[in-house]
Amino acid sequence: MPADFKLIKEDGLKYAEVAQLLDLSVKTVENQMSIAIKKLAAAVNHMLEAHKRNAS
C-alpha cells in the first residue's frame, strides 16, 4: 500500500496534509487513494469468491 493510504486511513491525516507532507498535489493523493481502494476491493472480492468455492 502506498504511504499516503497509511497516513490517511491509519494515522487520520487529511488529503491536504498528506499532499503537503509528501510534496504531492492533493489530486495525486486522491488518485492514489482511489487506486488503493480499488485494489483492496478486488482482493476482498477475490477472497470471498475463493471462500464460496471452497464452501460448496
Pick the CATH number of 3-55 from 3.30.750, 3.30.60, 1.10.10, 3.40.91: 1.10.10
What is the pLDDT at residue 26?
A: 97
- Torsion 38-9-1-45 (CA) sign: negative
What dihedral angle (degrees, nearest 10) is formed by the CA atoms of 5, 10, 37, 19? -30
Residue type, 41: A
pTM of the predicted structure, to 2 decimals: 0.82
pLDDT, position 56: 75
**Which tens digits make up the pLDDT trace of 1-56?**
578 899 999 999 999 999 999 999 999 999 999 999 999 999 999 999 999 999 97
Question: How is the chain split into domains, by residue range?
Answer: 3-55
pLDDT, residue 2, reads 75
Q: pLDDT value at position 1?
A: 58
Q: Which three cell numbers stand for residue 27?
A: 489530486
